């Protein structure tokens, strides 16, 4: 029988790959409490430094999936396809995309976690809708996937429970930022959810979890390879996250913008990413409907309304609004905005109350930031670029402080060139040599 200290040494010294049997033993022993959190933390740190081979990663992910239940969606009459984003500032794409793709004939089983840090969570956004609830039983979930064909709900405790413990441990031991650990964490939950196809939006840039484009690409390739190994048709888009997506950042503010997008009034950058992801999702699902037509005809908006009602929400109820609104970030000179830093805006929204620092914190539904001007817009010196929303006035000063750093906004004498937001697309064929390596 393996002993955990030897396995930690093997990984620490990088002497050889761990075997499938050793990894299976490790997960069983961790679940059975014979491997302690501090031992697992030491192993995670060794993995952080030395990585996992493709074989180790395959076994690691398999054990994460096997730690809980897996849903079977094969009985659905619609092809299932899901989307996951690594998270960005103002990233409300899921709110639009899930009903949009369902209105084109797919079943979209979007099971999500809560937002942490400066990027918001989809469930937190939807909870700003009066009455809407995130928790559904498996029966309710299956019913919603048959009609209206979409569900955005909290992932139940039964899906990949090993990830819950490991993620909490990584969070407090400085081992979150490891590509194999992130890839296995995200993919184990998506594979356990039972989707037949998956499109990943891996964000890169100042407001992203993976700031560096090369590392974002590596994470994308690793996840696509894991999906293929587990027979989930998977594709990844690496997309830019240097500036907030759309103009709204914060829960109710983002829902309001998503509803506008579903009725054909979405900002260009938000729709560029949404349509790109929708087209890949529909292709993987074998569907040929047009996402633009689904919006123009009102089908996507109708699916949104039904999706909200199925989960107890009132899509016609007014969204909550903040008690206090204040202008911030005055243009330092007259000219064209060439940059508006996503991270600074994300931190400001978070400090206003839109996000949580710890899992157990509450979020404010009304707090956030509205971008009055964005890159490509012309501004006059002194013109406010942002509007801050908060219920508690004491939140304004720390939020404004996050926006003070040089470079939060940059102004030029000409509009910036328009760069496509989709940097690259990674398909299973691109990582065929990595699968099962």
Of residues 11, 58, 118, 170, which has the active-site annotation? Answer: 170
**Separation of alpha carbons 168 and 346, rounded Å:** 23
Query: 83-112: which residues touch ligand URA (CB under 6 A)?
Result: none
Nearer to ligand URA, 2 or 113 (CB): 113
Nearer to ligand URA, 176 or 425 (CB): 176
β pairing state of 150-154 and 368-371? unpaired
* SS3 state of residue 436: coil
Q: Tell me which residue of 358, 340, 344 sits closest to 117, measured CA to CA.
A: 358
**Separation of alpha carbons 136 and 151, rounded Å:** 9
Minimum Å distance from CB 376 to ligand URA? 30
User: DSSP assignment, residue 429?
Assistant: G
Give Cα separations from 201 to 73, 91, 234, 273, 296 (angstroms). Answer: 23, 10, 11, 9, 24
Is 269 in the active site? no
Q: Which residues fall within 8 angstroms of residue 422, CB to CB, at 6 or more apart?
A: 237, 238, 239, 272, 273, 276
Q: Tell me which residue of 219, 145, 137, 230 sits closest to 188, measured CA to CA.
A: 230
User: DSSP assignment, residue 120?
Assistant: -
Of residues 92, 118, 189, 370, which has the active-site annotation? Answer: 189
155 binds ligand URA (CB under 6 A): no
Nearer to ligand URA, 160 or 345 (CB): 160
**Separation of alpha carbons 256 and 265, rounded Å:** 11
Nearer to ligand URA, 79 or 109 (CB): 109
β pairing state of 248-249 and 368-371? antiparallel
**Separation of alpha carbons 147 and 420, rounded Å:** 35
Which listed range, 63-71, 92-100, 174-182, 370-378, lies at the site for ligand URA (CB under 6 A)?
A: 174-182
Of residues 124, 163, 201, 242, which has the active-site annotation? Answer: 163
Nearer to ligand URA, 182 or 423 (CB): 182
Binding mask 179-198 for ligand URA (x = CB under 6 A): --xx--xx------------
Minimum Å distance from CB 163 to ligand URA? 7
Nearer to ligand URA, 114 or 351 (CB): 114
Minimum Å distance from CB 311 to ligand URA? 22
Here the tokens at position 291 are 């996402």
Nearer to ligand URA, 165 or 260 (CB): 165
Is 12 in the active site? no
Of residues 112, 178, 184, 185, which has the active-site annotation? Answer: 185
Which listed range, 75-83, 95-103, 178-186, 346-354, lies at the site for ligand URA (CB under 6 A)?
A: 178-186
Is 84 in the active site? yes
Residue nearest to ligand URA (CB): 185
Minimum Å distance from CB 82 to ligand URA? 13
* SS3 state of residue 336: strand
β pairing state of 108-112 and 150-154? parallel
Give Cα separations from 295 to 75, 146, 310 (angstroms). Answer: 28, 21, 20
Minimum Å distance from CB 292 to ligand URA? 31
Minimum Å distance from CB 243 to ligand URA? 22
Q: What's the start-to-end Cα distance of the chain, in Å? A: 26
Annotated catalytic residues are 84, 163, 170, 185, 189
**Footprint of ligand URA (CB under 6 A):** 167, 176, 181-182, 185-186
């Amino acid at each position: 029988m393996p002993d955990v200290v030897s396995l930690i040494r093997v990984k620490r010294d990088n002497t050889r790959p761990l075997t499938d049997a050793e990894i299976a033993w490790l997960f069983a022993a961790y679940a059975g409490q014979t491997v302690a959190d501090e031992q697992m933390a030491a192993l995670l740190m060794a993995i952080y430094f030395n990585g996992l081979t493709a074989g180790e990663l395959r076994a690691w992910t398999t054990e994460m999936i096997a730690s809980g239940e897996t849903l079977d969606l094969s009985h659905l009459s619609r092809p299932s396809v899901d989307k996951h984003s690594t998270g960005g500032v103002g990233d409300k794409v899921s709110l639009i995309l899930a009903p949009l793709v369902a209105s084109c004939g797919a079943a979209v089983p979007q099971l999500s976690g809560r937002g942490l840090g400066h990027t918001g969570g989809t469930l937190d956004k939807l909870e700003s809708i009066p009455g809407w609830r995130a928790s559904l039983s498996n029966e309710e979930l299956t019913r919603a996937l048959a009609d209206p064909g979409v569900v955005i709900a909290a992932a139940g405790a039964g899906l990949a429970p090993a990830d819950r413990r490991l993620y909490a441990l990584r969070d407090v031991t400085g081992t979150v930022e490891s590509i194999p650990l992130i890839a296995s964490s995200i993919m184990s939950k998506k594979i356990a959810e039972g989707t037949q196809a998956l499109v990943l939006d891996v964000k890169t840039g100042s407001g992203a979890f993976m700031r560096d484009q090369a590392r974002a690409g590596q994470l994308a390739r690793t996840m696509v390879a894991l999906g293929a190994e587990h027979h989930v048709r998977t594709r990844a888009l690496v997309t830019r996250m240097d500036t907030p997506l759309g103009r709204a950042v914060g829960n109710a503010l983002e829902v309001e913008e998503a509803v506008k997008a579903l009725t054909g009034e979405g900002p260009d950058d938000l729709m560029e990413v949404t349509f790109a992801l929708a087209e890949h999702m529909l292709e993987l699902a074998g569907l040929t409907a047009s996402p633009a037509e689904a919006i123009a005809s009102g089908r996507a908006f109708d699916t949104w309304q039904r999706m909200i009602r199925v989960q107890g929400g009132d899509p016609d109820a007014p969204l909550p609004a903040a008690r206090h609104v204040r202008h911030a970030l005055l243009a330092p000179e007259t000219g064209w905005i060439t940059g508006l830093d996503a991270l600074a805006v994300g931190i400001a929204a978070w400090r206003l109350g839109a996000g949580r620092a710890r899992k157990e914190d509450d979020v404010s539904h009304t707090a956030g930031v509205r971008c009055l001007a964005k890159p490509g817009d012309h501004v006059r010196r002194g013109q406010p670029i942002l509007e801050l929303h908060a219920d508690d006035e004491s939140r304004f000063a720390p939020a404004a402080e996050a926006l003070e750093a040089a470079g939060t906004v940059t102004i030029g004498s000409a509009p910036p060139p328009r760069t496509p937001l989709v940097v690259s697309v990674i398909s299973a064929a691109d990582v065929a040599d990595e699968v099962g390596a």
